Each structure stands twice: as C-alpha cells, then as structure tokens.
C-alpha cells in the first residue's frame, strides 16, 4: 500500500509538501517524474538519473507492451531489473497514446482496439489486461485504462469519456482486488479523473471514482489542447473535489511555471517529456527563462552553461561549446542539455518544498513566475 503524509502546508495557497512511501522507498512531494517511455530516460543511464536525486520515473504500458513485449520483461523479472533501476516506476496505462493514434484505434465498451504504429498488427487493451501488462512490468504505481479526449472535444464526447472511464475504473479495481502481482512487491492502482474543462463533468467523474477508495488519484484530460487558463481553472476545481489526504497526480504537465502554478493548487505529482525533449532540441531551462542554445548569440559565449546549476556538465562546459555540439549534431550535446534540464526541474521542485516548509511559497512563487515568464519563450 501507499502511505502518504502531509508534512507542511502553505498558509496562503493550497500548496503542500509531503512524503509518499511505496515498497519501502520514500518520495518527497511535490515531485516531478522524468519520462522514460521505453524504459530509458533518453541519453542518460539510470545511475545518472538517480545521482541527480530522482527516485521515481515514468514508463509507458502501451509502448512497453509493443516493445520489448511482456515475455521479455517477464524473463527479466520486470522492468526494474531489465533497465537496472533501483527506484520506483509509475506506468501510464496507454490511454493517452491510444487517443493520439486517431485513425488507428477504436473505442469499445469493453476496451480499446488499435493498430500498432510499428507494424500494423491489431491489439486490444481492456481494463483488465492493462493491469496484467503492468503486473509483468512490475511498476510500483499502475494507472487505470481511461478515455482521454482532446481539449477541444464536444461536451457530449467529454461526457462519454467520463462514463466509460468510470465503468472501466470499476472493472479495473474489482480485477485488481481479486488478482495478485508476479513479483514480491506492492503495486498501487490509480484511477484517472476525466471531464475536460467542464466543472459538472469533473464532479461527475470524481464522485464516481472516489467510491473506489483508491490510494491516490490522477487528473487526466488536461494539457491536450485546452487554453492554459482553463487548465488552471479545472485543477482548482479538482483541488476542491479530491481528498486532501491522498496524493494528486496531474498528468502530462508541464512547463516550469505550470508546475509552480499547479503546486499552488494542491497538486503533488507531475510528469512531462518537456525537460528531456526540449533539451534534445537545444532548449535549456534557467531561472530567468528558457535559453535556445542553438541561437548564434552563443557561438562565442565562453561563459559556463549555468554556474547556478548543480549539474557538473553545466559548470564544466561553455555555452559556446554546447552551441557547437548542437550545430555539429554531436550526441554529447544532447546529454549535456538533458542533464542540465533534469537538474533544473529537480532543483525547482526542491525549492518549492523548501518554501512550502518555511511558509514563504506564495511570495517566492510570484517572484519566480514574474522572472521566468518575463523572459520566457516556452
């Protein structure tokens, strides 16, 4: 089981910091989870990820199911052993990936059928077999299969997604409670609240899922094309609807300022490809806003990448050198930028925890957002 304890609260916002204990491993919240879709955080090996301070990463059920497949993962005794990772793993169910397949998938009452984007083979995910796959993966936190519509869908489509997600969640919890894992460990099952940006549908979804008495809850269906102010408004609604004493996980978010704003609304957990994907495209995150290292401005800039960073590589190499590596498409450039961004995100979450504990979060967050958004190009 997951044990969650709130250690401190901000007196002016809904921000809180806490500790989450799963399988004898402690996670400090609010937390950001690097994305390792295929069992790898691109360009860095697991020891480099853990040396930054991360002990919880995300992998994807849909992609791990297709490659390498459950037989290979079972032979390896799960993904932790397969990738030599001694931290915790959360696996997304694949609902978002199925949503993104568009013409290659079809939603049914009992699951979602889809055509593999790799070779065209036909598969079907159900509330039950998604749990079976995650049992083989051995993830510490398993997400339920959900229906994830886009941010600009009709109210009718959002309602259909809520009803089917609730139906699947009930089936999933029943199956979970009557089945056991393959490995000697606890696996936490998490339902995902849907409803687009509609308050009534979010209420409907939450009411249904809270009956399951899950150990934590996820907020899905955001960061899928809706306006930013609508996302924040919806998270604020969820802050009122979800239990205070259980972790809240906002899926797929986001930018540094998004993280700060949503922590102030009571969110505890985040994941996003942004720090790693943007790094591979030459964008570095800094306290003054994003930096495009491929810009010619940095061709002759012999200052270190970021002397305020705890990243050794950011203090070892110059902006000019990193600019050169990107221009010549050297792999080292991707590694330096990825490590830099993951350090930045880790330090950002650490600062938030510090200021929540010292009840200075509101003032600090205002200063951070003003500095960051005044110079941003996200």
Separation of alpha carbons 123 and 69, rounded Å? 13
Q: Structural domain boundaries of the chain?
A: 3-271, 280-373
102: its two tokens: 């568009």
Question: Whose CA is closest to 144, among 98, 190, 78?
Answer: 190
Helical segments of 119-263, H only: 127-137, 155-177, 199-210, 228-241, 256-263
Is 112:165 a contact under the CB 8 Å cutoff? no
pLDDT digits (tens, 9 = 90+) for 191-223: 999 999 999 999 999 999 999 999 999 999 999
Helical segments of 287-330, H only: 312-316, 319-327
Q: List, by residue number, the catalytic residues.
A: 92, 271
Question: Whose CA is closest to 217, among 238, 186, 248, 196?
Answer: 248
Beta strands in the chain (DSSP E): 3-9, 16-22, 25-29, 31-33, 56-60, 88-92, 105-108, 111-115, 122-125, 141-143, 188-190, 192-193, 217-219, 248-250, 269-271, 283-284, 291-292
Separation of alpha carbons 155 and 111, rounded Å? 21
For residue 194, what are the CA distances in angstroms to 41, 53, 210, 309? Answer: 28, 31, 13, 37
pLDDT score recorded for residue 377 = 52
∠25-49-24 over CA atoms, to 5°?
5
In the chain, count of helices (H) and strands (E)? 15, 17
Separation of alpha carbons 213 and 216, rounded Å? 9
∠38-277-94 over CA atoms, to 5°?
40
Task: Look at the alpha carbons of 68, 69, 70, 72 in this order and tell me if their dihedral is positive or negative.
Answer: negative
Q: Please return the burial class of 76, using the count of CB atoms within 10 Å of its CB with bins 0-12, 13-18 and 19+.
A: middle
Helical segments of 178-246, H only: 199-210, 228-241
What are the residue ranges in the chain where pLDDT is below 50? none
Looking up tokens 């993962």 gives 73
DSSP states of 48-73 as a string? HHHHHT--EEEEEHHHHHHTT-HHHH
Please name the residues in contact with 135: beta carbons below 8 A apart, sequence gap of 6 or more.
142, 179, 181, 182, 187
| Cis amide leading into 30 (omega within 30) | yes
∠64-70-71 over CA atoms, to 5°?
140
Q: Could you tell me which CATH class the domain 3-271 is placed in?
A: alpha beta
64: its two tokens: 């791990």
């Amino acid at each position: 089981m997951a044990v969650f304890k709130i250690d401190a609260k901000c007196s002016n916002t809904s921000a809180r910091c806490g500790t989450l204990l799963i399988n004898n491993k402690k996670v400090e919240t609010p937390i950001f989870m690097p994305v390792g879709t295929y069992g790898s955080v691109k360009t860095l090996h697991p020891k480099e990820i853990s040396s930054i301070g991360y002990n919880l990463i995300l992998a994807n059920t849909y992609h791990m199911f297709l490659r390498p497949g459950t037989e290979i993962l079972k032979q390896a005794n799960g993904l932790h052993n397969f990738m030599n990772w001694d931290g915790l793993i959360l696996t997304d169910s694949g609902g978002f990936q199925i949503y993104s397949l568009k013409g290659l998938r079809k939603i049914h009452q009992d699951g979602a059928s889809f055509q593999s984007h790799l070779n065209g083979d036909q598969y079907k995910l159900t509330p039950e077999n998604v749990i079976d796959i995650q049992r083989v993966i051995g993830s510490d936190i398993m997400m339920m299969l959900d229906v994830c519509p886009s941010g600009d869908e009709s109210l009718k489509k959002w309602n259909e997604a809520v009803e089917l997600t609730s139906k699947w969640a009930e089936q999933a919890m029943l199956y979970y409670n009557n089945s056991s894992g393959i490995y000697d460990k606890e696996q936490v099952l998490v339902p995902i609240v849907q409803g687009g940006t509609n308050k009534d549908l979010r209420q409907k979804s939450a009411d249904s899922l809270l009956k399951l008495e899950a150990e934590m809850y996820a907020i899905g269906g955001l960061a899928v094309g809706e306006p930013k102010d609508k996302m924040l408004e919806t998270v604020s609604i969820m802050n009122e609807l979800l239990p205070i004493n259980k972790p809240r996980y906002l899926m797929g978010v986001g930018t540094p300022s998004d993280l700060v704003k949503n922590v102030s609304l009571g969110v505890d957990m985040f994941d996003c490809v942004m720090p790693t994907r943007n790094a591979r495209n030459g964008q570095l995150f800094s306290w003054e806003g994003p930096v495009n290292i491929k810009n010619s401005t940095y061709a002759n800039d012999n200052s270190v990448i970021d002397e305020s960073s705890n990243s050794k590589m950011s203090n070892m190499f110059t902006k000019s050198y990193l600019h050169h590596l990107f221009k010549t498409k050297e792999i080292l450039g991707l590694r330096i930028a990825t490590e830099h961004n993951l350090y930045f995100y880790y330090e950002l979450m650490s600062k938030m925890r510090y200021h929540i504990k010292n009840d200075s979060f509101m003032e600090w967050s205002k200063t951070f957002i003003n500095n960051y958004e005044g110079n941003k190009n996200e």
